[in-house]
Amino acid sequence: MHECCGIFGVNSPNEDVARLTFFALFALQHRGQESAGIATADGRKIRLSADMGLVSQVFDEDSLSQLTGQIAIGHSRYSTRGSSRKINVQPMIVGKGSNTLAIAHNGNIVNDAYLYEELLEQGYPFHTSTDTEVIANLIISSPEKRWVDKIRYAMHRLQGAYSLTLMTKQNLFAVRDPWGVRPLCLGAINGGWAVASESCALDHIGADFIREIEPGEIVAISESGVDSYREETGRKALCIFEYIYFARPDSVINGRLLYPARQAMGAGLAEEHPVDADLVMGVPDSATAAGIGYANRSDIPFCEGLLKNRYVGRTFIEPDQRIRDLDVKLKFNPLPQMLEGKRLVVVDDSIVRGTTTPKVVNLLRRAGVKEIHMRICAPPIRYPCFLGVDMATRQELIAARKTIPEIRDFIGADSLGYLSIEGLIKAVALPRDTFCMACFTGDYPMPVQLEMDKLALETMLATQERRFGIRQR
Ligand code: SF4
């Protein structure tokens, strides 16, 4: 399961904003590893550097030194809408003259196909296959004069998940959708201001965390300071997987540090699904804290049964068949001397398609583990995500097709236990109506018009391909 992006923005006259953005993106690399980009503005001009690859591969001293100005926005991408190609990298610059903006987006728009057709008819050009360009053109198409009003105009028409950093030649804006599906926070740095997907990025660049940006809020950051524009919003729907998996455990979301929340998920699993075992491990890195939580609550020792190769990002080098067959071995290496003959509890964050878990179980069996008891920090995923998480179609989701005993047999474990929704809510210690949990329940926070949207999207992609010769997917 993949998240879709990390975003950052800074407005500070006393900082090398491009360099600062580079290091913030470096801290947000876990949110997207396909491409990275930085745009800067100096009051008269917007400059952009973006390419495919990891943050450290895309930028060097030379490219950063060209990115001058006192405002910057940055993006690290995992594509969920629009193909993984250079043409779709972000930030992207859209518009002309004084009606120009640079945009970086985390999320997924569900009604973009309709908006796309409408904007195309009005003569707005499209050069990418992303919903981000739809958002930008919608803002630009607004009849309003002030940028804040233009953004609000677009927000009233957009359905879906979007945390945005936007930059004109003079100002920085941070925007969070009315449901608050993706996180976004505000920090202060050296007489200026920064916004980031996660607070860990602010920590790494020495910014002070000020607060989270509220669902439905627009924050405008100019030379004269920060202005906030809020509107009454309805249902909140922060993606629960930010707590389980996506965000870094050292980030704070909704006032909760994620590390102890993940430990509490493990403790909840130990209460709901106890088992006699010799050792507990968490599948690294996202389930490590939950594994420790399980071990502490059950009084079973914690061990690192698998070591992860942490320095692998997404690669564009196609593996040959022999290497492809190694699969999870490229990522994990077991420690047989620790595991041989042991009854092992393995805590993991989720099972989506069920393609990876059997390989992990097999790897552990070959390392000599006697019993494997899988414990999952989330309830079974039975519905697809339309809000920016690259998950699977309903048919591909293993829990939509099989019962829990069938999944246990399929993955080859001796037992399998999922954390209940109640256990998950208790672990994050926030009201249930704070969250989107649609992939467990099918109760989407907004109309997603499943089949119609899919059809409309196909039409949009086909039209674009005809019009601009862009090859999709
Ligand atoms: S459907 Fe699931 S993955 Fe998608 S936003 Fe909601 S909770 Fe997150």
**Is the Cβ atom of 446 under 6 angstroms away from ligand 1?**
no
pLDDT band (50, 70, 90) for residue 469: very low
Specify which of 304-318, 397-411, 458-472 reaches the highest per-range mean pLDDT.
397-411
Q: Which residues pair with 166 in a beta bridge?
A: 103, 173
How far is ligand 1, taken at its centre, from the CA of residue 439, in Å? 6
Higher-scoring residue by pLDDT: 70, 88: 70
Confidence category of residue 82, pLDDT binned at 50, 70, 90: low
**Model pTM score:** 0.90
Beta carbon of 247 within 6 Å of any ligand 1 atom: no
Q: Is 241 in the pocket of ligand 1 (CB under 6 A)?
A: yes
Nearest CA to 259 among 271, 251, 268, 269?
251
Strands 415-418 and 435-436: unpaired
- Residue 472's pLDDT is 37
pLDDT at 454 over 60: no
The answer for residues whose C-beta is within 8 angstroms of residue 121's C-beta and 6 or more apart is: none
Q: What count of residues does the chain have?
A: 473
In ligand 1, the atom with minimum distance to the C-alpha of 391 is: 3
Q: Which amino acid is at 41?
A: A
Cα–Cα distance for residue pair 164/73, rounded to 1 Å? 10
pLDDT higher than 50, residue 358: yes
In tens, the pLDDT along 166-214 reads: 999 999 999 999 999 999 999 999 999 999 999 999 999 999 999 999 9
Shortest CA distance to 282 belongs to which of 258, 300, 302, 253? 302
- Give pLDDT, residue 223: 87
Among protein residues, the one whose CA lies closest to atom 6 of ligand 1: 436
**229, containing H or E segment:** strand 225-229
Residue 71 has pLDDT above 90, yes or no: yes
- Shortest-distance atom of ligand 1 to CA 445: 6
Q: Is the pLDDT of residue 428 over 90?
A: yes
Q: Give helix then strand counts, H and E, for the chain.
A: 18, 23
CA atoms of 203 and 192, how far apart (whole Å):
15
439 is known as an active-site residue: no
Confidence band (pLDDT; 50, 70, 90) for 116? very high
Are residues 429 and 262 in contact, defined by beta-carbon separation less than 8 angstroms?
no
439 lines ligand 1 (CB under 6 A): yes
Over residues 73-94, the mean pLDDT reads: 81
Element (H, E) at 209: strand 208-212
| Rounded distance between C-alpha atoms, residue 215 and residue 226, angstroms | 17
Asked if pLDDT for residue 473 goes beyond 50, the answer is: no
Rounded to the nearest 5 degrees, what angle is found at the Cα of 167, between the Cα atoms of 47 and 82?
Answer: 80
**Shortest-distance atom of ligand 1 to CA 242:** 8
Chain-wide mean pLDDT for the chain?
90
Q: Is 385 in the pocket of ligand 1 (CB under 6 A)?
A: yes
Distance 239 CA to ligand 1 centre (A): 5
Residue 471: the pLDDT is: 38
